[in-house]
Amino acid sequence: MTTASASHPDGSDSVTDLTAPDPLHETRQQRLAIREGLAVGLATAAYGVSFGALSVAAGLDIWQTSFISIVMFSGGSQFALIGVLAAGGVAAGAPAIASAALLGVRNGIYGMRTAPIVGRGLGKRLAAGWITIDESTAVALAQPTPRSRRTGFWVTGLAVFIGWNITTLVGALIGDALGDTRAYGLDAAAAAAFVGLLWPRLKRMQTVAVAVAAAVVAATLTPVLMPGLPVLVAALVAVVAGAFNWWGTPNDVGAASAGKEPCS
């Protein structure tokens, strides 16, 4: 603990704790976390419109679409689900669910990082599990203090959850009003939307190589296997490449073992 002495006019000394938290600074951090959470929530919610419209285009009705957004609540997994359903219909239900679940595994990994932020309590952890997503994790981990991390996590998660479900309903209503969505090309838009989510993550050579190799495997198997299965088989490319560090560098292995992302 760092202290400083100050002399009073009467000759006595007082000790000041310089490590005590600054209430004004903490308040600023709280406000910043709230602003960032609301901004991310607003931006992310906009994608819900496209999901709602594309889900209806894939053959789901308005209430099924809204139910998926409430229960699943994971943008990448939701787009993967409707993408497979759009290609194979109800018969591709099992592969569609498997593809969505495969992408949803990342949220469990996020939970390991956010558990200390959320705190103890069964009810609190169950609620946190619902909103542990890319955005809430990113905003929380970007904050400098434990209290602002907690604020960032909850504000972002709740903002995205509420906004996403509202815009999903709006998008589903729009898609339903359009009638035959194939006339507008929306039957192929789910795959395009998923590629749009993937594109910003292609920052390193290994990531690009894995994505290209997986795409080649999926394209090759698409005429042979039922919709959804080529995606699951292509996922093995990422597993094998990660296990043997194909197309990577020694730094990638060290960073992975340390739980950090290497510099690009």
Give the per-residue pLDDT at 199.
Answer: 60
**Closest by CA position to 15, among listed 1, 30, 25, 33:** 1
What one-letter code names the amino acid at 112? M
Give the per-residue pLDDT at 97.
Answer: 72
pLDDT profile of the chain (264 residues), mean per 10:
50 49 76 89 83 84 90 81 70 66 75 84 85 87 88 92 93 79 54 57 71 77 66 70 64 44 37
Burial class (CB in 10 A: 0-12, 13-18, 19+), 141: middle
What contacts 14, CB < 8 A, 6 or more positions away? 5, 6, 8
The token duo for 17 is 């704790």
Give the per-residue pLDDT at 202.
Answer: 64
Structural domain boundaries in the chain: 28-190, 202-257
Q: Which helix H or strand E contains 5, and what residues bound it?
A: strand 3-7
Predicted TM-score of the model (pTM): 0.64
